[in-house]
Structure 1
Amino acid sequence: MKSKLTVMTVAAVVAAGTVAAAVPASAATAKAAPTRCHTADLKAGFALGGDAAPEMGQSAKQTQAFIWFTNTSKRTCTLSGFAGVDMTGAQTTDGTWSLARSSEKPVKIALAPGDTTDFSITLLPVATSTPKKEKFVPSKFLVTPPNETTHFTLKWPFGGQILKQDGATHPATFLNPVGK
């Protein structure tokens, strides 16, 4: 038998129109987690400002070039992993060189609309006097965002040449994951 107090409380709540149903936390509407960025969501380019340009005029040490991705979509999306980078050479003997990956661990980057992230390519420049067969002269970079199959074609804006190590196990020219 229900107590008089319980019946009166339920009646008062119904009469006031404030019946609240308990909803389990798992059924509550949550904002969907962002999905990965697709090539169509992005634009890409070389970082050209001041200290972002690689030191291609020297041959004593490695240097870095940076490629950026900007989210041009109207949604937040994520990038995680390594971009695919194929360099096309300017010399007829260069061909295409698919860059090796570093041992750096990738991180997940969330890009809101208009946000930009980048990754670095470590390069080993060589002197202009280096024999043709030992140097690679970059012309274009085919850059594929992580987990995508469509690439951007970027013209190499920095000049210079790189020690040709396209068949090396641990080349001195390699790429780092997005966000590093």
Structure 2
Amino acid sequence: MKSKLTAVALAAVVVAGTAATALPASAATAKAEPTRCLIADLEAGFAMGDGAKPEMGQTENQTQAYIWFTNKSKRTCTLSGFAGVDMVGAQTTDGTWSLARSSEAPTKMTLEQGDTVDFSITLLPVAKSTPQKEKFVPATFLVTPPNETKHFTLKWPFGGQILKQDGATRPATYLNPIGQ
């Protein structure tokens, strides 16, 4: 019985030893895949270019605001999925509105040092004459990168009001995945 166990143990060592030497030499020198971007790797802000500003003065159609993330670290990292976005209102009746996600499928974005990627928030502006209880007046946005727990606090720079639908199952104000 002892020789049978010794033979099995010896066979296991031989197989394990063979497996360890069976790796190609290129695998040992291959560059590791980038890991996800951490909040410490990123900067964030609202896109302010002419085509990026939401049309908050009109009230007939949805419009888009864009938030960007820039990789400020010295390493390559990835972002995938949806940011978390909570709008904090300027009116005492607004409170905080956690934006719903679109049905768009996210893609993985790889950011080299200095690269920027954005995502859009679709908004439904309303007229100033809309009753206060039906409008949300944005003041700040709490933006959490995907898979993070800390957020950036961004001041809303565009003015205007949004149709308040914070309890709706299919709101006209929602966010899209990173890169869209």
* TM-score under structure 1 length normalisation: 0.86
Question: Over the residues paired in the alignment, what is the CA RMSD in angstroms?
Answer: 1.5
Q: 1:31 to 1:61 in 2, by over 3 A?
A: same
| Identity among equivalent pairs (%) | 81
User: In the alignment, which residue of structure 2 is the partner of 1:108?
Assistant: 108
Q: Deviations over 1:28-59 (max 9, x none)?
A: 32000000000010000000010100000010
User: In the alignment, which residue of structure 2 is the partner of 1:78?
Assistant: 78
2:69 and 2:27 map into 1 onto residues whose CA distance is 36
2:130 and 2:37 map into 1 onto residues whose CA distance is 41
| Structure 1 residue 116 displacement after superposition | 0.1
1:132 and 1:142 map into 2 onto residues whose CA distance is 23
| Structure 1 residue 25 displacement after superposition | 5.0
User: In the alignment, which residue of structure 2 is the partner of 1:48?
Assistant: 48
1:167 pairs with 2:167: yes
2:85 and 2:23 map into 1 onto residues whose CA distance is 49
Aligned pairs, number: 160
Q: Deviations over 1:37-84 (max 9, x none)?
A: 000100000000101000000100000000000000000000000000
The one-letter code sitting in structure 2 at the alignment partner of 1:147 is N
* TM-score under structure 2 length normalisation: 0.86
User: In the alignment, which residue of structure 2 is the partner of 1:141?
Assistant: 141
The one-letter code sitting in structure 1 at the alignment partner of 2:56 is M
User: In the alignment, which residue of structure 2 is the partner of 1:99?
Assistant: 99
Where does structure 1 differ by over 4 angstroms across 4 or more consecutive aligned residues? none
1:138 and 1:41 map into 2 onto residues whose CA distance is 27
User: In the alignment, which residue of structure 2 is the partner of 1:30?
Assistant: 30
Once the two structures are overlaid, the 10-residue window that deviates more, 95-104 or 24-33, is: 24-33
1:28 and 1:119 map into 2 onto residues whose CA distance is 37
| Structure 1 residue 26 displacement after superposition | 6.5
The one-letter code sitting in structure 1 at the alignment partner of 2:154 is L
2:116 and 2:23 map into 1 onto residues whose CA distance is 39
Stretches of structure 2 lacking an aligned partner (at least 5 in a row): 1-21
